[in-house]
Amino acid sequence: MKCNSQMEQLYQEIRGDNLDDPRALPQKLIALLNAGFVEEEECVFFSQLKPSAPVKNVDFPDKTGYECFVNHLDIEDYLENGGSPALELLGRGLALAQEIKERLSQLHGTRHFRVIVAFTGPSCSVRFHTVRQDEGWTDKDLCRDEAIAIFETQEQEI
pLDDT of residue 110: 83
Residue 51 lies in a domain: no
Contact 14, 156 (CB under 8 A): no
Residue 84 is part of which domain span? 2-46+61-152
Is the pTM value of this prediction over 0.85? yes
Across 19-26, average pLDDT? 86
Across 69-73, average pLDDT? 94
pLDDT of residue 83: 61
**More confident site: 118 or 86:** 118
Residue 8 lies in a domain: yes
How many domains, the chain?
Answer: 1
Residue 53 lies in a domain: no
Residue 56 lies in a domain: no
Residue 52 lies in a domain: no
pLDDT of residue 64: 93
Average of per-residue pLDDT values in the chain: 86
Across 48-65, average pLDDT? 84
Residue 157 lies in a domain: no
DSSP string, the chain: -EE-HHHHHHHHHHHHTTTT-GGG--HHHHHHHHT-EEEETTEEEETTTGGG----GGGSSSHHHHHHHHT-EEGGGGSTTTT--HHHHHHHHHHHHHHHHHHHHHHSTTS-EEEEEEE-SS-EEEEEEE--TT--SHHHH--TTSEEEEEESS----
Residue 89 lies in a domain: yes
Residue 121 lies in a domain: yes
